[in-house]
Amino acid sequence: MKKADIFGINCKLGRGVNILGYDPIWKDRTKARMKDEHFRLIKEAGFGNVRIPLHPFRDSAINENGKITESWFRTLDWAIEQSLSNNLMPIIDFHEFGVMGQDPLGNKKRFLATWRQIGERYKDSPDEVLLEILNEPNKELTPELWNQFLSEALKIIRNTNPTRAVVIGPAFWNSIDYLDKLELPEDDRNIIVTVHYYKPMNFTHQGASWAGLQDKVGVEWTASPEEKQAVINDFGKAQSWAKKHERPIFLGEFGAYDKGDMDSRARYTNYIPRQAERMGWSWAYWQFDSDFILYDILNNRWVEPLLKALIPSKR
């Protein structure tokens, strides 16, 4: 297998943001919140990549025979084309972590069928297009089972995309703490390893019903020495793993939910990516629209404290 400059690709990814995951565009193009102009704004703000979460199961985009609809693919085509035309590197992220975690074996056929079709459709795309096998494997998709799934999906991808950069993370929600359980093919060096970081959860997810913290609010993040050290320790653990295995790291998600106070959120949202950059990692903030929002689409404006936290040059 040809060895790509995978560390160079990861460096080029640089700073990014998650987009389009919960935009109604996937079911109805006429109801799109995100438009062409937003890709330009993202680039002008100083970002270099966009991670595009895909939900083909949720969107009823794949039928009982495992065939993905052309209309859904055309939306993805548009997102990739807009990314590339604005010099943003798109990461195509299979984001069906919920159903895959609940019933991995029952959904395995559709999961592999999805990658077979995505691989075929984008096999001639530029190297700047990356593929992420699955967001946050969890629950019944145990570390051991996930190693089997990722191996099969990667082989399918490699049939049509032998040297493309593929993004793969550990089980248990892409946790840094589970990197040691991640098994990757030693001879495939065209892989970027992703981790997500939302610690401490009682701060980053305060007020979030899906995290069981709907009644937990008023938690601050003051950037105290203890709070900073906890991040340094966690990132150091991941960096040690990365050096040992000679794999680059992409921090694919981080952020603090909208129910926290903005000063704390801005401090956190500045500290996390700066630590990632010191390690030589690329990153993508969660997310442009929907929740944890970085850009207020209805009012056509950035959430300035968060943008300035992510891209300090925008102060």
CA 15 vs CA 35, 115, 242, 283: distances in Å: 21, 26, 19, 5
Question: Tokens 């010099």 map to which residue?
Answer: 87
| Whole-number pLDDT of residue 138 | 98
Task: Give me the number of domains the chain comprises.
Answer: 1
Residue 173 domain flag: yes
| Whole-number pLDDT of residue 1 | 44
State the residue range of the domain holding 248.
6-314
| Whole-number pLDDT of residue 4 | 63
Q: State the pTM of this model.
A: 0.97
| Structural tokens at position 255 | 């952020």
Measured CA angle at 150 (ends 156, 136), to 5 deg: 130
pLDDT for 89-120, tens place per residue? 999 999 999 999 999 999 999 999 999 999 99
| Whole-number pLDDT of residue 215 | 86
pLDDT at residue 209 above 80? yes
pLDDT for 124-182, tens place per residue? 999 999 999 999 999 999 999 999 999 999 999 999 999 999 999 999 999 999 999 99
Cis peptide before 137 (omega within 30 of 0): no
Residue 1 domain flag: no
Indicate the residue type of 203: F
Cα 61 from Cα 67, distance rounded (Å) = 8
pLDDT for 217-254, tens place per residue? 999 999 999 999 999 999 999 999 999 999 999 999 99
pLDDT at residue 314 above 80? no
| Structural tokens at position 296 | 């207020």
Residue 41 domain flag: yes
pLDDT at residue 255 above 70? yes
| Whole-number pLDDT of residue 3 | 57
Residue 140 domain flag: yes
**CATH number of the domain within which 59 lies:** 3.20.20.80
Question: Tokens 């009682």 map to which residue?
Answer: 202
